[in-house]
Structure 1
Amino acid sequence: MYLTNILTDPERLDRWMTIAQSSLLPLVKGALSYTIPLTLLSFSFGLMIAILTALARISPVKPLQIVARIYVSIIRGTPLLVQLFIIFYGLPSIGITIDSFPAAVIAFSLNVGAYASEIIRAAILSTPKGQWEAAYSMGMSYPQALRRIILPQAARVSIPPLSNSFISLVKDTSLASLILVTEMFRVAQQIAATNYEFLLLYAQAGAIYWVICFCLSLVQGRVERRLDRYVAK
């Protein structure tokens, strides 16, 4: 009914078109200035955390295993929104104040690190034991075997699920608007607060998220096809 009234009302439809055109550039700017950099930084740091956590999980050193398991359990067992609020709103109560953008990077990195660590750990464990034995027979140490033999093979296995995690992270960055990061969804909220066209602005932001994720899905498909050809050879 709401959309029907708009489509049958030339003045209201013209207003929608004007708002959509004027808000497109600020939304795209929010995506380029905050959403995409936030995604790239968080995923990069999260991937480093994930590799270290995965190696700790398979380490023969029990204390490292325990610490890694506790970290993964806490992050996977609590909502991302709660983690964001604890870092940005909770830590100042104990004297630790972090600006909104770094707080978002920390929260997203820790979240990505926990989930991606399980992907990487599974990929490492899926490597045949014969690969380890072959590396040791060549005189390689454990770190050398990991770096030269195991991790390159695990990377090919883990790239598809890690790509899915990256695409999901793009959408999850919208939660950063709740801790005052002026990423794309926050920009949509600010514009909608001035003209009260919440449906239009939120739908427009959603469309931009979809375009970004669609392009990333195309890239993911090409990478996976190249990996398949490489493995087939």
Structure 2
Amino acid sequence: METFIHAYSWIDIHFLLRGLWVTIYVSLISIVLSFILGLFLGLIRYMKIKYVSAIVGFIVDIIRNLPLLLIIFFTYFGLPQMGIVTNPTTASIIALVIFEGAMLCEIVRSGIIAVPDGQMEGARSNGMTFGQAMYHVVVPQGLHNMIPALLSQFVSLVKDTSLATIIVLPELLYHAQIIYSQNTTYLIPMYVIIAVMYFIVCFCLSQIANYLSKRYD
């Protein structure tokens, strides 16, 4: 018990909170950008544009079957070889957006496909163009269908930020490692506290999703 008390000193907690902020910062930016990318790619796949949809589907399938850690390594070590210099934060965001965008692409496509064909036909019969029908009728209903899957993917994204500790992203797990590397007796207390912090963030995210789901039901 005494070990836990010493491990949770204000200095250590403050240091962990700084890492938590980086985790939240990277997660929020990645969630927004990956959702935009996934929505765009999902619409392309749904509309079955000649050649384009097939190429997008091929690339998405490749990315979805690659380990996220490999993509993180590529963005951090590979991009500089191509003249694109990145820091750990930028590389982590790029990797997460690419990987999660590919995952969300299939969620978006499935959500839109789940919308009954009669919705599109009804919108078109009322004088809407294809684009208007997609924007005002089909996509909003599809997004409602996607909420549970989107939530699950966003929660996974938050937890996946911990993989970026391998490229020295100063996120929560990396800060915890620094603390218990200085005193190995703090290892278990650090794992306990970061587990609590991850739970709080992911639980809040799930509550927001539940609220949105009920509001637009």
Does the alignment reach a TM-score above 0.5?
A: yes
1:213 is aligned to 2:202: yes
Q: Which residue of 2 aligns with 1:50?
A: 38
Q: Please, what TM-score do these two structures have when normalized by structure 1? A: 0.86
Q: Which residue of 1 aligns with 2:100?
A: 112
Identity %: 33
Deviations, residues 115-152 of structure 1 (Å, cap 9, x unaligned): 11111111111111111111111222111111111111
- Contiguous gaps of at least 5 residues in structure 2: none
Q: Distance in 2 between matches of 1:26 and 1:220?
A: 29
**Pairs within 5 Å for 1:135-150:** 135-150=123-138
Q: Considering Cα pairs closer than 8 Å and 6+ residues apart, tell me whether 1 or 2 has the greater RCO.
A: 2
1:65 is aligned to 2:32: no
User: 1:176: Cα distance to partner?
Assistant: 1.4
Which amino acid in the other structure matches residue 214 of structure 1?
Answer: F
Q: Give aligned pairs, total.
A: 215
Q: Distance in 2 between matches of 1:66 and 1:150?
A: 22
- Residue 24 of structure 2 is aligned with which of 36, 47, 65? 36
Q: Label 1:170 to 1:60 Cα distance change in 2 as closer, same or farther (>3 A).
A: closer
Give 1 or 2 for the bigger CA radius of gyration: 1
User: 1:43: Cα distance to partner?
Assistant: 0.8
Q: Distance in 1 between matches of 2:211 and 2:124?
A: 35
Once superposed, what is the RMSD of the aligned Cα atoms? 1.6
User: 1:217: Cα distance to partner?
Assistant: 2.5
Question: Alignment partner of 2:170: what SS?
Answer: coil
User: 1:113: Cα distance to partner?
Assistant: 0.8
Deviations, residues 172-227 of structure 1 (Å, cap 9, x unaligned): 11111111110111111111221223232223212211122223223333333334
Q: Which residue of 2 aligns with 1:160?
A: 148
Q: Distance in 2 between matches of 1:158 and 1:58?
A: 15
Question: Alignment partner of 2:104: what SS?
Answer: helix
Which amino acid in the other structure matches residue 66 of structure 1?
Answer: A
- Residue 15 of structure 2 is aligned with which of 26, 30, 33? 26
1:123 is aligned to 2:115: no
Q: Which residue of 2 aligns with 1:133?
A: 121
User: 1:53: Cα distance to partner?
Assistant: 0.6
Which amino acid in the other structure matches residue 220 of structure 1?
Answer: A
Q: Which residue of 1 aligns with 2:213?
A: 224
Q: Please, what TM-score do these two structures have when normalized by structure 2? A: 0.92
